[in-house]
Amino acid sequence: MEYRNLGESGLQVSVAGLGCNNFGRRIDKAKTADVVAAALDLGVTLFDTADVYGPGGQSEEFLGAALGKRRADVIIATKFANPMGEGPLLRGASRRYIFSAVEASLRRLNTDWIDLYQVHIPDAHTPPEETMRALDDLVRAGKVRYIGCSNYSGWQIADAQWTARAHHLTPFVSAQNQYSLLDRRIEREVVPAARRFGLSILPWGPLASGFLSGKYRPGEPPPAGTRLAAAGPMAERALNAENFAVLEKLESFAALRGRTVLDVAIGWLATKPWIASVINGATSPGQMEQNVRAADYRLTPEEMAELDQITRR
């Protein structure tokens, strides 16, 4: 397993990260423990969850229980800001809500600290300085070690980092955004902003909701039990002729190298040095092994250029 620094910090994370959004949603507590144990055995140290995963925080609860005495061996990344109930007081990035949300996550995770605390979505109703000051206070109190953002645009990253710099506050070290061979939109503004202001990218959705896993075929309904089988409109957007045309080229690219499309999709991300960890979910130890093996794959500059041509939109 390779380990990389998160942004301009000294925090190192495994290149293969485990996304925990399946915990409590697609797999129960016992199966969660199996996946976490497999990840630990394979050298995975970054476990990414959120208070809304589960639902109702079950992902954090299951992860905390599965880690047990191994808590000190890993990096727990969790998130806040999405609605955890009805009304305006149970969401967002205000000082009031942040202080409440972090205590709830600490209880569910059964830990005294969170390694990486991330704003899950931008909060247009709260000034950036209020959010950054509240997060800085959590770092100074020792409840949080590092902070990051998720689903921010390029200008929002720049705004937050300049706010932190101007007021001598703790800056973000990571930006977690959707990024895959089928969705490269963050390359326009988010990636340049993150690199300019010292953040690593933590891509989520590297397999495009499973589309790049090889489970889906043109003209056929999504297999039962897969993510897109119950995705409704999202499945319709993903399972289109244009995406299948790209998938066909990716399958040829992978076959010529004795690889799978999953290997190529994750390896393409892991080859980029400004990506600290590729976050991908798993519902079984076998899937965890596939993800880790794929994260070891590195492509040549020529192969990266070829994939750029195949997937450019």
Closest CA to 263 of 210, 212, 307, 227: 212
Tens-digit pLDDT profile for residues 4-15? 999 999 999 999
Residue 238 has pLDDT above 90, yes or no: no
Concerning whether 152 is annotated as a catalytic residue, the answer is no
Region 276-297 average pLDDT: 97
pLDDT at position 214 is 78
Tens-digit pLDDT profile for residues 295-312? 999 999 999 999 999 999
Q: Report how many helices (DSSP H) and strands (DSSP E) the chain contains, helices first.
A: 11, 10
> Residue 23 carries which DSSP code?
B
Place of tokens 């500059």: 301
CA-to-CA distance for 204 and 281, rounded, in angstroms? 9
Global pTM value:
0.94
> Residue 98 has which token pair?
């942040």
Region 108-130 average pLDDT: 98
pLDDT at position 231 is 61
**Which residues have CB under 8 Å from 47's CB, separation 6+?**
17, 18, 20, 36, 39, 63, 67, 74, 75, 76, 77
Q: How many CB atoms lie within 10 A of CB 203?
A: 24
Q: List the CATH code of the domain at 3-207+268-298.
A: 3.20.20.100
CA-to-CA distance for 221 and 104, rounded, in angstroms? 40
| pLDDT class of 135 with cuts at 50, 70, 90 | very high
pLDDT at position 100 is 98
pLDDT at position 225 is 66
Residue 229 has pLDDT above 70, yes or no: no
Domain boundaries along the sequence of the chain: 3-207+268-298
CA-to-CA distance for 284 and 282, rounded, in angstroms? 6
Residue 261 has pLDDT above 70, yes or no: yes
pLDDT at position 232 is 67
Tens-digit pLDDT profile for residues 149-195? 999 999 999 999 999 999 999 999 999 999 999 999 999 999 999 99
Instruction: Find the catalytic residue in 3, 53, 117, 146.
Output: 53
